[in-house]
Amino acid sequence: MNHREIERISVGKNFDFQKDVFPAYKPVILENSFGTWPALKRWNVDYLNAKIANAEVSYKHSGSHLHPNFCDPKCHPRKHNKTITTFNNYIQLLIEDTKKASTYLASGDDLCFK
């Protein structure tokens, strides 16, 4: 399986996620970005469950804690199946089983499997 380190991006004043990150279609870690973000004071499990408990989300599990390169032809999609559940069920999964620490929300990775 082909793994890669996840790039870290320090977010500055003029950072634009849609322009600077999204078109590259790869995972990133955003640093120095949320210190004054209002959601930090408001968003917690209770708040999010009140707003989106029944929203459908998909997640994947990485046994290596690395994000596979899903667009690599050697990467087999069946090894990285998405599981679809509700947001509330996903949060409960993370709370109840700390071994799922490498479980992450997923979106769009299957676009490479045309």
Range of the structural domain that residue 79 is part of: 3-112
Q: Indicate the length of the chain as a whole number.
A: 114
Q: What is the pLDDT of residue 111?
A: 46
Helix (H, G, I), strand (E, B) or coil at 92: helix
- pLDDT tens digit at each of 114 positions of the chain: 566 788 888 887 778 888 888 877 788 888 887 777 778 888 888 999 999 999 998 887 766 656 666 566 666 555 556 788 999 998 888 887 766 557 777 765 544 443
Tell me the C-alpha distance between 107 and 15, whole Å. 22
Amino acid identity, position 113: F
Total tally of structural domains belonging to the chain: 1
Tokens 């793994």 — which residue? 3
